[in-house]
Amino acid sequence: MMNQIFRLTFVTFVWKKYKRVIISLVALLFSLWMIEQIHQDFVQYSQLNNDTSYLAVSFIIKWVVFLLAAGLFIFVNTILKTKTSPSKKPSQIRSKKRFFYKTSSPDKTSLSKAADDSSKPQSDPFDAIRSKTKLRSKADLVLEPDKKKQ
């Protein structure tokens, strides 16, 4: 059960991180396979008709299309990736942080509310801890009964 969870987590991580590369690689392999199949059909057709005059041209076209497909693959995965990755605006990054940390950006309405609320004492959850004269840890509490026994 745990092995399947780890495997699914790993596959999800790889998919999210390399989604563009995986899809473009599958498209590249499929297109190369289709080009090869079409070329083989043409070669068989030309051999059946005993017309091999365009056979050399077909090989040249096949390899040019292979190189164009590989060049397109490299273009999509390197050049377009660098252009799209830094396009995130700081406001988008802040909104993600705000979602995770439940913070809000200060705007004019919240600043005016803060100015109005500044006269009211705010409840500080750590005020009770700061006002204690002596702070004790869990270790102090565990060792304290031993001191009373002695």
Read off the pLDDT of residues 18-48 as tens digits, 9 standing for 90 and up.
999 999 999 999 999 999 999 999 999 999 9
User: What pLDDT, on a 0 to 100 scale, did the predictor assign at position 117?
Assistant: 54
pLDDT for 28:
95
CA angle 28, 24, 64 (to 5 degrees): 35
**Tokens 């289709």 — which residue?**
34
Q: How many Cα atoms occupy the beta-carbon half-sphere of 128 within 13 Å?
A: 2
Is residue 58 pLDDT above 60, yes or no? yes
Give the mean pLDDT of the chain.
79
pLDDT at 2: 85
Whether residue 147 is predicted with pLDDT greater than 90 in this model: the reply is no
Which of 9-23, 69-83, 96-110 is most confident?
A: 9-23
Residue of higher predicted confidence among 89 and 129: 129
Average pLDDT of the segment spanning 96-102: 51
pTM: 0.52
Structure tokens at 109: 């309405």
Q: Which run of H or of E encompasses 31?
A: helix 2-48
Is the pLDDT assigned to residue 132 strictly greater than 80? yes
Q: For residue 89, is pLDDT > 60?
A: no
**Nearest 5°: CA angle at 79, between 76 and 84?**
90
Does residue 65 contact residue 28 with C-beta atoms inside 8 Å? no
Local structure of 99: helix, strand or coil: helix
The counts of H helices and E strands in the chain are 7, 0
Q: For position 46, what pLDDT does the model report?
A: 93
Least confident of 62-66, 67-71, 137-141: 137-141
How far apart (Å, rounded) are the C-alpha atoms in residues 98 and 104? 6
Separation between Cα atoms, residue 28 and residue 35, nearest integer Å: 11
For 143, phi then psi, to 5°, come to -80, -20
Domains of the chain by residue range: 22-79
Q: What is the pLDDT of residue 126?
A: 82
Retrieve residue 116's tokens.
Answer: 């109005």
